[in-house]
Structure 1
């Protein structure tokens, strides 16, 4: 072996440990990359998955039940307000009618106390119903009294309100005073009973005096 060849062999021997170290580092790097690749491709390693955060129960305040209770309370308040409004409307309607006819109605009731049978003026009286939308929900009957005689006269009329069985549950008296010949009066007979059961008005007596 020549001196040049011997010199190259010695240099190669000095660098061999360095090459070994580099090879080991490279192998470790490949191993790490391989492990990372296995994780990404769904290998045996446990994937890094973010766990859902549990709800903070301390923040629960029962909002839904409270909202439901509030809605129910609001519905009850609206129903109560509607009932009060209807009652007020009925009272207002009845008061406006009574202000004009109360004296005549009392006179009619007093007059009919002494009348037997149906009276002498049944043919002078007719009845028609009045829409509840105009009476605040009350059952009201328009009693049309026509003076068919040739002289001035007063009238007393009795209206019974009967239930479906035919039983009289309420009686009203209406009248007209000093009605001229051929003229008409149209007092109202108003029931104060609840809408149910449905009542039927019945002309019972009519007296001309």
Structure 2
């Protein structure tokens, strides 16, 4: 999903919460329409910052993988375990099985998504010096706290 879609969903949710929390409450300085407008503005700001965080994480992952020269696509060498909660952040075990014929290292981009498929976070895990026919292990941990049901998938994997 695009960053715009993430912003829209977050803004809609925050507006609904703020409007429901303030229903029937008014003070002498603001009208209900003013409160709704202020809530929408605040929600848009929060959603914008969330979208910027995701865009930044995606760009950083892209740069990290692009630095690798002479690497080959190795998505088929990667297996993920189950996503778990790790102090508010989500983590997932990553296993790289080397079928290349010689020792290799891996850089793996993991995308964390909500049940609707919306991108929540992006991380890159490196697994170094995996022998031929052997498996190496790593852990992908989200950059920030993620709540609710979160899935992880391998977006890119490079063997080098």
Give the TM-score taking structure 2 as reference length.
Answer: 0.52
Partner of 1:194: 145
* 2:121 matches 1:167: no
Superposed CA deviations along residues 83-116 of structure 1, whole A, max 9, x for unmatched, are xxxxxxxxxxxxxxxxxxxxxxxxx86551268x
Q: C-alpha root-mean-square deviation of aligned residues, in Å? A: 2.4
- What is the distance in 1 between the residues matched to 2:129 and 2:145? 34
- What is the distance in 1 between the residues matched to 2:106 and 2:63? 11
- What is the distance in 1 between the residues matched to 2:105 and 2:142? 23
Partner of 1:101: none
Aligned positions of 1:27-66 closer than 5 A = none
Aligned positions of 1:121-140 closer than 5 A = 121-129=74-82, 131-132=84-85, 135-136=86-87, 138-140=89-91
* 2:134 matches 1:157: no
- What is the distance in 2 between the residues matched to 1:199 and 1:131? 9
- What is the distance in 1 between the residues matched to 2:88 and 2:109? 22
1:141 deviates by: 0.3
Partner of 1:208: 159
- What is the distance in 1 between the residues matched to 2:84 and 2:124? 20
**1:169–1:178 distance in 2 versus 1, CA, 3 Å:** same
- What is the distance in 1 between the residues matched to 2:105 and 2:137? 13
* 2:134 matches 1:183: yes
**Contact 1:122-1:207 at 8 Å conserved across structures:** yes
1:160 deviates by: 0.5
- What is the distance in 2 between the residues matched to 1:109 and 1:186? 21
Q: Give the number of the structure whose residues are more often helix, by fraction.
A: 1
1:131 deviates by: 4.6
**Contact 1:109-1:156 at 8 Å conserved across structures:** no
- Show structure 1 runs of 5+ residues with no match: 1-107
Question: Which one has a bigger Cα radius of gyration?
Answer: 1
- What is the distance in 2 between the residues matched to 1:182 and 1:127? 18
Partner of 2:49: none
Partner of 1:103: none
1:195 deviates by: 4.6
Moved over 4 A (4+): 108-111
